Amino acid sequence: MKTHQNRCLLYNQGLMPYVDAHAWQRSLLTERINDPSLDDVLILLEHPPVYTLGQGASAEFLKFEIDKSKYDVHRVERGGEVTYHCPGQLVGYPILNLQRYRKDLHWYLRQLEEVLIRVLAIYGLQGERIPAFTGVWLQGRKIAAIGIKVSRWITMHGFALNVCPDMTGFERIVPCGISDKPVGSLVEWIPGITCQEVRSDVASSFAEVFGVELVEL
């Protein structure tokens, strides 16, 4: 049994533009590539409305033309297809050195799913995995999306949990490229729930699953 727990710095942020959060993640990643002894980080925040496409994502999953759109759209280096972020969706960006855990990306993706499944369990809800896909489902609706990028075993990007977002933004895309499975949000099951109350549950479940000691900054 490991007695020593890795420290993980927790940044509880409010609403942050996607480009700012992305630049911040990249700088944290670069610092840790240069000095792998630095503490791991978990950033929790919300984004103003924005669409992001993974590295190999297909623009055909957007129901609007990228170059003529009034929407904020970014293609970034994570895996996965198009996704949508907006207020009411809690986004988590773990910057973890997987050499401290397990050098296995499938394991890491399953751990992120496990964090969110445990969060749902706190509310008496049973989150599910669908073997062919990454993410978490609740009664057949996709409640959480996951997309990561790993460089020299250090992670960036992460997960997005739909707590109480305005769901209309999802109507302009085929979320994660999956056309036959609808997206859902926690508020459908728990009226009145907010990102604020879910944050502490996400943080504690994350600490549990990864066996880290969270240090809030």
* Residue keyed to tokens 């050499």: 99
How far apart are the two ends of the chain, measured CA to CA in Å?
28
**CA–CA separation, 103 and 23 (whole Å):** 25
**CA–CA separation, 210 and 114 (whole Å):** 10
Determine the longest span between alpha carbons in the chain, in angstroms.
56
* Residue keyed to tokens 């706190």: 122
* Residue keyed to tokens 């809690």: 90
**CA–CA separation, 100 and 117 (whole Å):** 23
Kindly report the number of other CB atoms within 10 A of residue 88's CB atom.
18
Query: Which residue in 8, 86, 164, 176 is the catalytic one?
Result: 176
Strand partners, 161: 90, 144
Active site residue 164: no
**CA–CA separation, 117 and 124 (whole Å):** 10
User: Both tokens of residue 160?
Assistant: 């997005």
Q: Which residues of 151-178 are buried (b: 16+ CB within 10 A; e: fewer)?
A: eebbbbbbbbbbbbbebebbeebbbbbb
* Catalytic residue list: 176
